[in-house]
Amino acid sequence: MFQRVLVANRGEIALRVIRACKDLGIESVAVFSEADRGAHYLSLADEAFCIGPAPSSESYLLINRIIAAAEVGNAQAIHPGYGFLSENAHFAEVCQSCHITFIGPSHEAMGKLGDKISAKAIAQAAEVPLVPGSDGLIDSEAEALRIAKKIGYPILIKATAGGGGKGMRVAIDDSSLKNGLKQAAAEAEKAFKNAGVYLEKYVERPRHVEVQFIADHHGNVIHLWERDCSLQRRHQKLVEESPAPTLPKSVREELCKAAVRLAKAASYTNAGTCEFIVDKDNNFYFIEVNARIQVEHPVTEMVTGIDLIQQQIRVAAGEELPFKQKNIPCEGCAIEVRINAEDPAHNFRPSPGKITKLRVPGGPGVRFDSHVHQDYVVGPNYDSMIGKLIVHRPTRDQAIATMRRALAEFEIEGVKTTIPLLQEIFAHPAFHSGDVDTTFIERTTWASGTAKPHS
């Protein structure tokens, strides 16, 4: 086991890793930018080094500074957290060349999965379903109609050079497909000087379901069940839960097995997440692998009883996974919400400032992972998440009740937060019935300011 681990991150995930190290009897080395100097969580590490000024590009993203800090701090391993350098294969490679263990997958696996095309090839080889579509660019209307017949409507026409919705059309029948092809090609030609388009099955009201897995260096790959993260706003997850509501057990098991096949095919080690979209008929399609720990890992910790960060460190140190697939429980229901310093009344713009008052909910079934405290100053330099509120209860109804109680207990002054929107979500009948997909926030009217994307 390592004696010292450097935490190449900040805020709540840095604190989370520092705590896991302490629980394992490992010393931790923190790094910080000048904007984070004096932050309370740094005092919980055994050592802390300033690595640069506030901008991430001059501190938390500077590979050589972090390696230097690990060297002067005598750390044998680096935990990258999420964000920043966590999915940077080059960083993982530099760590390796400096004989520092990167707590995460190998840079080879990261590289393979980081590239969309090779990731899809791996998925295909592992018999993990992909969103059906054309194999490449569409050459003719006839070809398009043939493919459409095979995969069925609705179909998404996407520009290969596209982005921001430009050169994108939804076709619901042959006629709209023909028109759409022309319009999309013309639009793409105009916007990107590239008229190439391809087809993909359009998944209506997709649910975002992801599978947590962990693999050791001895060939064992185990899934820790799934999380439903459909509740998003502008592709930012707001609520995550495990198990996925409304998904039949058999589908959940298929989904989890698919993720394990994929991880094995990619020779993956350490913790990772396989993301899927699930359509209204419970068909699931591979989207991508997140080759790192995720913000929402606590919901998996609650239902399985497994400390994921500790387990990441153990696996990286060469330990074998101490459990078998059949012994991994998925007990009760866990839900996490992200509390962001954002102003719902002003289109969720960041709301930095000093937290002048903080009353955090507690009691049974409630966990709050956060680096903030009364008098903490939320700066404008990094993302707006100030904490994660997690509940764990025997049933989903009870979990929702406890979350509502906990959100009602939460008092924070000095910054605006997403709590009012979260309270509305948890009071919404559609959320209670599990009838939630990635469009839920956008197509629902919210009293607490606007949660809509373009207002």
Partner 1 sequence: MSKEPPTAGTPFNLDKLKELIEMMEKNGLTEIDLRSGAERWQLRRGPQEVTQVVSAGPFAGMHMPPPMPMTPAAVQLAPAGSSVMPAAAPADDGVVIKSPTVGTFYVAAAPTDPPFVSVGSKVKEDTVVCIIEAMKVFNQIPAEMNGTITAVLVKNGDPVEFGQPLFKINLG
Tokens matching residue 334: 């866990």
The listed partner (partner 1, a second copy, none) that binds 34, CB under 5 to 8 Å by sort, is partner 1
166 binds a second copy (CB under 8 A): no
23 binds partner 1 (CB under 8 A): no
- Residue among 422, 381, 398 nearest 53 (CA): 381
CA pair distance 207, 240, nearest whole angstrom: 12
If binding means CB under 8 A, how many residues of this protein chain bind partner 1? 46
The listed partner (a second copy, partner 1, none) that binds 352, CB under 5 to 8 Å by sort, is partner 1
369 binds a second copy (CB under 8 A): yes
Label residues 263-300 b or e (16+ Cβ within 10 Å = b). bbbbebbbbbbbbbbbbeebebbbbbbbbbbbbbbbbb
356 binds partner 1 (CB under 8 A): yes
CA pair distance 195, 288, nearest whole angstrom: 26
Rg of the chain over CA atoms, in angstroms?
A: 23
SS3 content of the chain, % helix, strand, coil (to 5): 35, 25, 40
320 binds a second copy (CB under 8 A): no
CB closer to a second copy, 5 vs 366:
366
Minimum distance from residue 453 beta carbon to partner 1 (Å) = 27
298 binds a second copy (CB under 8 A): yes
Tokens matching residue 427: 């009071």
19 binds a second copy (CB under 8 A): yes
429 binds a second copy (CB under 8 A): no
- Report the site for a second copy in 105-124 (rule: CB under 8 A): none
CB closer to a second copy, 301 vs 437:
301
Q: What is the DSSP string of 356-373?
A: -EEE---STTEEEE-S--
Strand-pairing partners, residue 163, are 166
126 binds a second copy (CB under 8 A): no
83 binds a second copy (CB under 8 A): no
CB closer to a second copy, 19 vs 178:
19
Active site residue 292: yes
CB closer to partner 1, 59 vs 134:
59
CA dihedral 368, 372, 374, 377 (to 10 degrees): -150
DSSP designation for 46: S
Which residue reads 């993956």 in tokens?
268
CB closer to a second copy, 25 vs 136:
25
- Report the site for partner 1 in 51-110 (rule: CB under 8 A): 51-54, 59, 64-65, 67-69, 71-73, 98
CB closer to partner 1, 334 vs 372:
372
CB closer to a second copy, 265 vs 366:
366
CA pair distance 262, 153, nearest whole angstrom: 28
401 binds partner 1 (CB under 8 A): no
Residue 305-324 contact track with partner 1, rule CB under 8 A, x = bound: --------------------
Phi-psi region of 164 (alpha: psi -120 to 50; beta: other; left: phi over 0): left
CB closer to a second copy, 330 vs 401:
401
Cβ neighbours for 227, distance < 8 A, ≥ 6 positions apart: 209, 210, 211, 212, 240, 241, 242, 244, 296, 299, 300
3-state secondary structure of 170: strand
CA pair distance 254, 250, nearest whole angstrom: 6
Minimum distance from residue 175 beta carbon to a second copy (Å) = 53
Q: What is the DSSP string of 21-45?
A: HHHHT-EEEEEEEGGGTT-GGGGGS
Q: Phi then psi for 169, rounded to 5 degrees?
A: -140, 145
The listed partner (a second copy, partner 1, none) that binds 435, CB under 5 to 8 Å by sort, is none
Q: Phi then psi for 118, rounded to 5 degrees?
A: -70, -30
304 binds a second copy (CB under 8 A): no
| Residue in 207, 292, 338, 393 annotated catalytic | 292
Minimum distance from residue 353 beta carbon to a second copy (Å) = 18
Q: Which stretch binds a second copy (CB under 8 A): 91-99, 253-261, 365-373, 425-433?
A: 365-373
Active site residues: 292
Interacting residues toward a second copy by CB under 8 A:
15-16, 19-20, 22-25, 40, 44, 298, 301, 305, 307, 331-332, 358-360, 362-370, 373-374, 394, 398, 401-402, 404-405, 408-409
Interacting residues toward partner 1 by CB under 8 A:
31, 34-35, 37-40, 42-54, 59, 64-65, 67-69, 71-73, 98, 352-354, 356-357, 359, 373-377, 379-381, 408, 411
